[in-house]
Amino acid sequence: MTSSAAVAAPPSSAALEVLSGLLRDAVLLAGRGTASQADVDIAMRLGAGHPAGPFEVLASLDPDRRNSLGLPGALPEAPASGPTAAPADDGWTGPVGVLGTGHMAGGIVEAVARSGRPVRVLSRSEASGARLLGTLGKSLDRAVSRGRLDEAARAEVLGRVSVTHDAADLAGSDVVVEAVAEDLAVKAAVLGAVDAALPPSLPLATNTSSFRVGDLRPSVTSGRPVLALHFFNPAQVMQLVEVVVPDDVPDAAGLRTTAGAWARDLGKTPVTCADSRGFVVNRLLIPFLNDAVRLHEQGTPAEDVDDLLRTGAGHPMGPLALVDLIGVDVTVAALESMAAVEDDPRIRPAAALTDLLAAGRLGRKTGAGFHSY
């Protein structure tokens, strides 16, 4: 029924009230076939840091408590897992292309290079490429200082990374991963430009967290393998990768299997989900954060909202502090992206979020959001 043993104790009653929307959404996603119950639980533990996944929490509640929260009294049975196909003999063991030089791109570059694979980074300018290499060097220096790498290994990782300004140089890659700004027009333009320079059989992956693979497919050659490989921040540390391959992509099952095996070779844990906005983690987490904002709007101080979920549900960070870390602007954009394709009042940004956005209080990056920094 659940992905692992039920948690020893359920969240507090007050915490459960805030979490009830997330739990209902988890049942909805599993019922739609967006992801299995096991993958939903894994995703929320590894991607959101929750001590237990939604179905593990549900399993810890008695039926009357579930009913009182508007949740199913009897949990749906998890479907039996089918056989897992073996990755193709020509799986992704060679070079990887990365589009972008920002924070997420740099984390993906480091994760791939540390797995032993060469990485070719497509940079817009010499300056942005140099910044990425400098940031990578500093990250590896920290790993050396913490005893996680020695100097020889650091040099080997750096030696696997090259920067180019010509998309054609990525043609020999096993897969090319786009990790540019989370803006649909920007992503579409970058993928369209690269598509024209690459063989039509080379898979293109997006690291999007807000959009669907289907939103980007019109930008590339019809028939090209296109998927999402959604890494979490910081990509060189976080274990989860959401693997999303639309069913109508050529050889979808084989691509899904190969991509999952590749992620495991990077030391990550892949979960497979359907091509819907927010995938699993953001589709569950971001509306939950919106619920917590609405609790604050009703008069509960921000510190108390955060304490409620930290102490009552064991979350590593309170939801409003997490909004500040993610960014108020990013949170609003994610909600708006999901609301554009799903008519659910819970997903519309709470007024407190839009007020902070209008005031320029975006969280940690501006020094103030729900909290001051």
Q: Which residue has the higher pLDDT, 265 or 342?
A: 265
- In the predicted structure, residue 89 carries a pLDDT above the cut 60: no
322 in Cβ contact with 289 (< 8 Å): yes
Average pLDDT over residues 136-159: 96
pLDDT of residue 81: 55
Query: What does R_g of the chain's alpha carbons equal in angstroms?
Result: 21
Is 371 exposed, middle or buried, given 0-12, 13-18 or 19+ CB atoms closer than 10 A? Answer: middle
Residue 258 phi, psi (nearest 5): -65, -45
The Cα 29–Cα 306 span in angstroms is 26
* Alpha-helix runs per DSSP H in 4-125: 13-32, 37-48, 54-59, 63-68, 103-114
Same domain, 56 and 170: no
Same domain, 240 and 258: yes
Same domain, 44 and 100: no
Same domain, 184 and 119: yes
Average pLDDT over residues 299-315: 97
Confidence bin at 70 (pLDDT 50/70/90): confident
Query: What letter represents residue 204's amino acid?
Result: L
Of 241, 272, 303, which closes a domain? 272
Same domain, 139 and 179: yes
pLDDT of residue 84: 57
The Cα 363–Cα 72 span in angstroms is 36
The Cα 334–Cα 359 span in angstroms is 19
Same domain, 257 and 137: yes
Same domain, 137 and 56: no
Q: How far is CA 64 from the centre of its chain?
A: 34
* 136 in a structural domain: yes
Same domain, 254 and 173: yes
Same domain, 327 and 187: no
pLDDT of residue 69: 85
Residue 125: partners with Cβ closer than 8 Å, 6 or more residues away:
165
* 51 in a structural domain: yes
Q: pLDDT for 242-296, tens place per residue?
A: 999 999 998 999 999 999 999 999 999 999 999 999 999 999 999 999 999 999 9
241 in Cβ contact with 270 (< 8 Å): yes
pLDDT of residue 373: 95
Domain that holds residue 60: 13-78+280-366
* 250 in a structural domain: yes
Of 248, 272, 296, which closes a domain? 272
pLDDT of residue 3: 43
111 in Cβ contact with 285 (< 8 Å): no
Same domain, 299 and 345: yes
Beta bridge partner(s), residue 227: 205
Cα distances from 96 to residues 6, 140, 161, 274, 348, in angstroms, run: 39, 19, 10, 24, 38
Q: pLDDT for 161-189, tens place per residue?
A: 999 999 999 999 999 999 999 999 999 99
The pLDDT > 70 percentage for the chain reads 93
Q: pLDDT for 323-341, tens place per residue?
A: 999 999 999 999 999 999 9
Quote the number of domains for the chain.
2
Of 272, 295, 329, which closes a domain? 272
Average pLDDT over residues 4-29: 84
* 89 in a structural domain: no
Same domain, 181 and 264: yes
Beta strands of the chain (E only): which ranges?
A: 96-99, 119-122, 161-164, 175-178, 204-206, 226-231, 240-244, 269-272
Average pLDDT over residues 90-100: 93
- The CATH number assigned to the domain holding 38 equals 1.10.1040.50
Confidence bin at 140 (pLDDT 50/70/90): very high
Same domain, 362 and 217: no
DSSP 8-state assignment for residue 231: E
Exposure pattern of 337-366 as b/e (b: 16+ CB <10 Å)? Answer: bbbeeeeeebbbbbebbeebbeeebbbbeb
Predicted TM-score (pTM) of this structure: 0.93
Mean pLDDT across the chain: 93
* 221 in a structural domain: yes
* 4 in a structural domain: no
* 23 in a structural domain: yes
Q: Which residue has the tokens 């993928």?
A: 191
- The CATH number assigned to the domain holding 113 equals 3.40.50.720
- In the predicted structure, residue 26 carries a pLDDT above the cut 90: yes
Please state which of the ranges 66-70, 145-149, 254-258 shows the lowest mean pLDDT. 66-70
Q: pLDDT for 346-360, tens place per residue?
A: 999 999 999 999 999
